[in-house]
Structure 1
Amino acid sequence: MYLTQGLHRSLQRHPDKIALTHVSDGLVRQHSFAELLDGIGRHAAALWARGVRAGDRVALLAPNHDLLVRAIFACWWMGATACPLNVRWSVHEIAHALEDSGARLLLIDESLTALAQGLSLPTVGLEQLADEARAPAPLPDVRAAGEQMAAILYTGGTTGKSKGVMLTHANFWTASMTRGAELNNAPDSVSLLVAPLFHVAGLGRLIGQTMVGGTCITMAQFRPAQVLEAIETHGITDTILVPTMLQALMDEPGFQPARVRSLDRIAFGAAPMPPDLLERALVAWPHAEFFQAYGLTETAGALCINLPENHRSPEARTQGRLHSVGRAGLGAEILIVDESGHPLPPGEVGEIVACGPMVTRGYWNNPQATAGAFRDGWFRTGDAGRMDADGYLFIVDRLKDMIISGGENVYCAEVEGALRSHPLVSHAAVIGLPDARWGEAVHAVVVLAEGVAPERLPVDELRAWCRERLAGFKCPRSVVYVPALPLSAAGKVLKNVLREQARA
Structure 2
Amino acid sequence: MTTAPAAPSTRAQDTVEKDSLELIRWPDPRADALTGPGLGSLSVASLLASSAGRHADRIAVVCGEERVTYAELWDQARAYAGAFRARGIGPGDRVAVLVPNVPDFPRVYFGLLALGAVVVPVHLLFTADEVEHVIRDSGATLVVAAAPVLAAALPAAAAAGVPVVTVLVPDALRDKVPAPRLEDEAAATEPLERLVPVPPLAPATVLYTSGTTGKPKGAVGSHLAIVENVNVVLIDCFDMRTGDVVFGGLPLFHTFGQVCVMNTAFRVGATVLLLPKFDPATALKIMDAERATVFIGVPTMYGALLQAAGPHRDGGAELPPLRYAISGGAALPEAVLDRFQQVFGAPVHEGYGLTETSPVASFNRVGEPAVAGSVGFPVWGVEAEVTDPAHPERIVVLPRGERGELVIRGHNLFKGYLGNPDATEAAVVDGWLRTGDIATKDDEGRIRIVDRAKDMIIRNGYNVYCREVEEVLVRYPGVASVAVFGVADDEHGQEVHAAVVLEDSEAGRAFDADAMVTEARQHLAAYKYPRVVHVREAMPQGPSGKILKRELVAEYES
TM-score norm. by structure 2 comes to 0.70
Cα distance in 2 between the residues matched to 1:331 and 1:376: 17
Q: Is 1:50 matched up with 2:114? A: no
CA distance in 2, matches of 1:41, 1:480: 50
Distance in 1 (CA, whole Å) between partners of 2:376 and 2:210 is 26
Aligned pair in 2 of structure 1 residues 37, 344: CA closer, same or farther (>3 Å)? Answer: same
1:297 aligns to 2:297 (yes or no): no
1:162 counterpart = 2:216: yes
1:104 aligns with 2:141: yes
Q: In structure 2, the residue corresponding to 1:92 is in which secondary structure?
A: helix
Q: Deviations over 1:24-62 (max 9, x none)?
A: xxxx11111111111111000111222322210010112
Measure the CA separation in 1 of the matches of 2:442 and 2:432. Answer: 20
1:203 aligned counterpart, secondary structure: helix
Q: CA, structure 1 residues 433+222, in 2 after alignment: closer, same or farther (shift >3 Å)?
A: farther
Within the candidate set 39, 54, 66, 1:29 is matched to: 66
How far 1:476 sits from its partner (Å)?
A: 4.7
Structure 1 residues 210 and 323: alpha-carbon distance in aligned structure 2, compared to 1, 3 A threshold: same
Q: By how many angstroms is 1:144 displaced?
A: 3.4
> What is the correspondence of 1:173-184 to structure 2 with a 5 Å cutoff?
173-180=227-234, 181-184=236-239
**Counterpart of 1:465?**
none
Structure 2 CA distance for partners of 1:352 and 1:431, relative to 1, 3 Å: farther
- Alignment equivalent of 1:331, drawn from 374, 381, 402: 381
- Secondary structure of the structure 2 residue equivalent to 1:125: strand
Q: Which amino acid aligns with 2:398?
A: L
CA contact (8 A) 2:48 2:110 kept: no
Partner of 1:203: 258
1:435 matched to 2:499? The reply is yes
Bigger Cα displacement from structure 2, 237-246 vs 361-370 = 237-246
Kindly state the Cα deviation for residue 136 of structure 1 after the two structures are TM-superposed: 2.1
CA contact (8 A) 2:295 2:324 kept: yes
- State, as a whole percentage, how many aligned pairs show the same letter: 32
In structure 2, C-alpha distance between the alignment counterparts of 1:327 and 1:244, rounded to whole Å:
23
- Which residue number in structure 2 is paired with residue 364 of structure 1? 418
* Cα distance in structure 2, aligned partners of 1:375 and 1:132: 46
- 2:402 is paired with a residue whose SS is coil
For 2:142, the aligned partner's letter is L
Residue 349 in 1 paired to residue 403 in 2? yes
State the distance in 1 between where 2:217 and 2:554 align.
Answer: 27
1:175–1:301 contact (8 Å) kept in structure 2? yes
Once the two structures are superposed, residues 163-215 of structure 1 have per-residue CA deviations (whole angstroms, 9 ceiling, x without a partner) of: 00000111111211221122332111111211111111001121111111222
Give the Å deviation of 1:248. 1.3
Counterpart selection for 1:396 from 433, 450, 453: 450
Letter in 2 for 1:197: L
Could you tell me which residue of structure 1 aligns to residue 326 of structure 2?
267
Write the distance in 2 (CA, Å) between the matches of 1:31 and 1:113.
25
Q: 1:77·1:144 contact (CA, 8 Å) conserved in 2?
A: no
> 1:259 and 1:59, CA in 2 relative to 1: closer, same or farther beyond 3 A?
same
1:384, CA displacement in angstroms? 1.1
Farther off after superposition, 297-306 or 86-95:
86-95
Take 1:188 and 1:299, find their aligned partners in 2: how far apart are those partners? Answer: 28
Q: Distance in 1 between matches of 2:406 and 2:254?
A: 21
Q: Per the alignment, in what secondary structure is the counterpart of residue 118 of structure 1? A: helix
Q: Which amino acid aligns with 2:245?
A: V
- Taking structure 1 as reference, are residues 351 and 149 closer, same or farther at Cα in structure 2, changes over 3 Å only? same
Match of 2:308 in 1: 252
**AA aligned opposite 1:350:** G
Work out the CA distance in 2 between the residues paired with 1:278 and 1:8.
36
Instruction: Provide, for residues 143-164 of structure 1, a one-character-per-residue CA deviation record: whole Å limited to 9, x for no partner.
Output: 4351111100000224311000
Q: Tell me if 1:70 matches 2:126.
A: no
Partner SS for 1:236? coil
Q: Does 1:216 align with 2:257?
A: no
Match of 2:190 among 137, 159, 166: 137
Unaligned runs of 5+ in 1: 417-428, 440-471, 483-504
Query: Could you tell me which amino acid in structure 1 is paired with residue 257 of structure 2?
Result: G
Cα contact 1:335–1:343 (8 A) shared by 2: yes
Q: Deviations over 1:439-474 (max 9, x none)?
A: 9xxxxxxxxxxxxxxxxxxxxxxxxxxxxxxxx977
The alpha carbon displacement at 1:301 in A equals 1.4
| Residue 307 of structure 1: how far off its partner (Å) | 3.2
Secondary structure at 2:289 match in 1:
helix
Q: Give the equivalent residue in structure 2 for 1:382.
A: 436
Report the Cα offset of residue 475 of structure 1: 4.8
For 1:208 and 1:438, locate their aligned partners in 2 and report how far apart those are by CA, in whole Å. Answer: 34
Cα distance, 1:262–1:430 mapped onto 2, change above 3 Å: farther
Instruction: Judge conservation of contact 2:207–2:219 (CA < 8 Å) in 1.
Output: yes
Look up the equivalent residue of 2:318 and give its one-letter code: R
Look up the SS of the partner of 2:360 in the other structure: strand
Q: Number of matched residues?
A: 421
Task: Measure how far apart 1:15 and its partner are.
Answer: 1.4
C-alpha separation between the residues in 1 aligned to 2:92 and 2:133? 20
Establish whether residue 243 from structure 1 lines up as the match of residue 299 from structure 2: yes
Matching residue of 2:290: 234
3-state SS of 1:185 partner: coil
TM-score, scaled to structure 1: 0.77
User: Per the alignment, in what secondary structure is the counterpart of residue 72 of structure 1?
Assistant: helix
Letter in 1 for 2:239: N
Cα distance in 2 for residues equivalent to 1:30 and 1:432: 49
Task: Tell me whether 1:279 sits opposite 2:338 in the alignment.
Answer: yes
